[in-house]
């Protein structure tokens, strides 16, 4: 629908104003910008409503964000929507929450990212914030609150990158030769020792390790079909690439046999491969606590459980990238080496053999 009138300057109100009508609904659009620029702005608002059917652009960002989070609660897991809720609460709504969605500009969205950058947040956090803003605006477009396409949101080039740490060869030799930890002042066998070793040798995500069941291991092949997140929710994994298979080698096979023996000796009957003393899957907090204690006892520099995955990728970085992506569950466009490799579906048999040879050299 095309308008036939133009915005007029209302002296008494100090603004440009235009009235238009569509489907029997009459709306007024204004701009307080003086001069020709203000008239064009008011006209553009009217045209946008006439052409694209913006239903309720006057809704404010804070209200729309609440709707968006409610939508995520219905369609995604808690571990996902809680991150978006946090982003709106801490980074977005305090600055642009009172802005009408119809007036929202790409620069205002960019300012949100720039403020977070100014506070010293890492590149990963800024990237997540950008994704949140883009997804939110897409939700608003679907609801006809806006026609904005924030295509040019950027992350400052010198944004801080969190330094990742990995186990060096001397640390790996300690891990594979020492089974004990310090518990209540006494040296005792670590119940999760084989989980640590399997973690390093496979590059699983912590949630994938926790969700692994004995039924997922058949004929020398591991079939990853689930993950348990930090909230204890069972999911199908981080993304579609997380559902993958890989072959065991002599090291991983031996570790699983040792794990079976350990559970039998402790009289633990569980469907999960790596579990706590009650047979339940390892919780994120418990695994972190035990791993930290093991590292302190053996003077291993602090490395998080997720960085055991980085350790694996760093150790096998000589693998062809296509093999490695399939092994760790990355998409084709994921920068596996750039993100996961630090200093230090392909043919599964060849991949397993190469991984085995790599760790044979490291642990020799």
225 and 261 share one domain: yes
pLDDT band for position 238 (cuts 50, 70, 90): low
Taking residues 139-146, report their average pLDDT: 89
223 and 302 share one domain: yes
Tell me the whole-structure pTM to 2 decimals.
0.65
With respect to residue 337, please indicate whether it lies within any of the assigned structural domains. Answer: yes
36 and 106 share one domain: no
Q: What is the CATH number of the domain that holds 240?
A: 1.10.443.10
215 and 185 share one domain: yes
With respect to residue 285, please indicate whether it lies within any of the assigned structural domains. Answer: yes
Mean pLDDT of the chain: 85
32 and 84 share one domain: no
Q: What is the pLDDT of residue 53?
A: 57
Taking residues 226-245, report their average pLDDT: 76
With respect to residue 210, please indicate whether it lies within any of the assigned structural domains. Answer: yes
Structural domain range at position 12: 8-52
For the chain, percent of residues with pLDDT exceeding 70: 87
40 and 73 share one domain: no
Instruction: Give the end of a domain, one of 107, 126, 142.
Output: 142
pLDDT one-digit tens code per residue, 33-84: 889 999 999 888 888 777 765 556 678 999 999 999 999 999 888 888 999 9
Q: What is the pLDDT of residue 119?
A: 93
Total domains, the chain: 3
With respect to residue 3, please indicate whether it lies within any of the assigned structural domains. Answer: no
Q: What is the CATH number of the domain that holds 73?
A: 1.10.150
Q: What is the pLDDT of residue 139?
A: 94
135 and 238 share one domain: no
48 and 65 share one domain: no
With respect to residue 149, please indicate whether it lies within any of the assigned structural domains. Answer: no
67 and 130 share one domain: yes
105 and 204 share one domain: no
Task: Provide the token pair at 205.
Answer: 């995500």
182 and 296 share one domain: yes
With respect to residue 1, please indicate whether it lies within any of the assigned structural domains. Answer: no
With respect to residue 158, please indicate whether it lies within any of the assigned structural domains. Answer: no
75 and 187 share one domain: no
């Amino acid at each position: 629908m095309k308008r036939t009138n133009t915005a007029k300057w209302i002296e008494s109100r100090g603004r440009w104003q235009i009235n238009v009508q569509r489907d029997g609904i009459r709306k007024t659009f204004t701009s307080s910008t003086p001069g020709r620029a203000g008239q064009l702005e008011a006209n553009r608002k009217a045209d946008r409503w006439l052409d694209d059917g913006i239903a309720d652009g006057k809704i404010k960002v804070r209200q729309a964000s609440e709707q968006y989070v409610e939508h995520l609660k219905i369609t995604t897991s808690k571990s996902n929507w809680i991150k978006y809720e946090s982003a709106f609460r801490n980074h977005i709504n305090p600055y642009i929450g009172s802005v009408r969605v119809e007036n929202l500009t790409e620069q205002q969205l960019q300012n949100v990212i720039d403020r977070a950058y100014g506070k010293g947040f890492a590149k990963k956090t800024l990237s997540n914030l950008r994704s949140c803003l883009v997804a939110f605006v897409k939700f608003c477009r679907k609801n006809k609150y806006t026609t904005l396409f924030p295509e040019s949101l950027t992350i400052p080039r010198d944004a801080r990158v969190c330094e990742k740490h990995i186990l060096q060869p001397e640390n790996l030799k300690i891990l594979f030769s020492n089974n004990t930890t310090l518990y209540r002042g006494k040296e005792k066998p670590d119940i999760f020792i084989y989980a640590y070793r399997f973690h390093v040798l496979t590059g699983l995500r912590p949630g994938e390790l926790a969700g692994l069941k004995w039924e997922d291991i058949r004929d020398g092949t591991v079939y990853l079909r689930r993950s348990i997140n930090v909230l204890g929710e069972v999911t199908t994994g981080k993304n579609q690439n997380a559902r993958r298979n890989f072959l065991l080698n002599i090291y991983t096979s031996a570790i699983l046999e040792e794990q079976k023996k350990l559970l039998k000796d402790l009289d633990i009957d569980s469907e999960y491969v790596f579990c706590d003393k009650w047979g339940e899957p390892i919780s994120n907090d418990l695994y972190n606590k035990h791993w930290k204690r093991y590292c302190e006892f053996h003077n291993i520099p602090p490395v998080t459980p997720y960085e055991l995955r980085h350790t694996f990728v760093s150790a096998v970085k000589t693998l062809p990238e296509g093999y490695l992506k399939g092994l760790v569950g990355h998409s084709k466009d994921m920068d596996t080496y750039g993100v996961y490799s630090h200093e230090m579906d392909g043919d599964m048999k060849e991949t397993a053999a190469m991984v085995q040879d790599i760790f044979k050299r490291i642990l020799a």
